[in-house]
Amino acid sequence: MGGTFDPIHLGHLRAAENAREGLGLDQVAFVPARVPPHRDRPPSNALDRFAMVALATAGHPHFVPSDLELQREGPSYTVDTLAALRAGRPDDAFVVIVGSDTFPEMRSWKESERLFALCAVAVVGRPGEGGEEAPPLPEVSGVERVGGPGLPISSSAIRERVRRGLSVRYLVPDAVADYIAKRGLYS
């Protein structure tokens, strides 16, 4: 599961758990992007974002933080990350977990055909989507919609709450809230 994670929040963790349970995944790696290719540079630096991911995933036996994209210079392209993961673990199968809002953009990602050949894709619904309200997925081999409860939380709303001096408890793990406060992030 890749992303900016600025900051990682309970919605990210719930989506990952939905995919893990729904697809029977052994492990979910959280891969913060060093330089997101499809958006502006994040407010927090990559090391702070990785530290928050590590704190958020520390208590889950199947969640692991990955600094793979932080080790590479330049934009963090998912296809490059998957190629590196597969090279290191050629016998493993990989699934990219994306939100239903992100999935339609994947065809515009770098080397999208190669990307879809390297992995399966789990599309996690956004809160409020469900049943007939969920947008239909195109017929693409290796793409599966994952159900489960979602949490209507966004990183931008969390950053805004911090900027306004409001609590982010129960939106992010406690360790992440403490880290944000101690580092003075988003103020």
* CA-to-CA dists, residue 135 to 23, 123, 129, angstroms: 20, 11, 8
Closest of 120, 40, 46, 33 to residue 80, by C-alpha: 33
At 29, is the secondary structure helix, strand, or coil? strand
What CATH code would you report for 2-151? 3.40.50.620
Count the neighbouring beta carbons within 10 Å of the beta carbon of residue 80: 17
Lowest mean pLDDT of 1-5, 115-119, 131-135, name the range: 131-135
User: β-strands 143-146, 120-124: how paired?
Assistant: parallel
pLDDT at 132 over 50: no
Residue ranges covered by each domain of the chain: 2-151
Split at pLDDT 50, 70, 90, the class of 129 is: low
Q: What percent of the chain has pLDDT over 70?
A: 93
Percent of residues in the chain assigned helix, strand, coil, to nearest 5? 40, 15, 45
In this structure, what token pair is assigned to residue 2?
Answer: 């890749």
Count the neighbouring beta carbons within 10 Å of the beta carbon of residue 41: 11
Count the neighbouring beta carbons within 10 Å of the beta carbon of residue 33: 23
DSSP string, 59-98: T-TTEEE--GGGGS-S---HHHHHHHHHHH-TTS--EEEE
Q: What is the pLDDT of residue 127?
A: 77
Residue the block writes with tokens 């515009």: 108
Q: What is the pLDDT of residue 177?
A: 98
| pTM of the predicted structure, to 2 decimals | 0.92
Q: What is the pLDDT of residue 61?
A: 97
pLDDT at 136 over 90: no
Q: Quick: pLDDT tens for 19-70.
A: 999 999 999 999 999 999 988 889 999 999 999 999 999 999 999 999 999 9
Q: Quick: pLDDT tens for 64-92.
A: 999 999 999 999 999 999 999 999 999 99
Q: What is the pLDDT of residue 97?
A: 98
pLDDT at 135 over 60: no
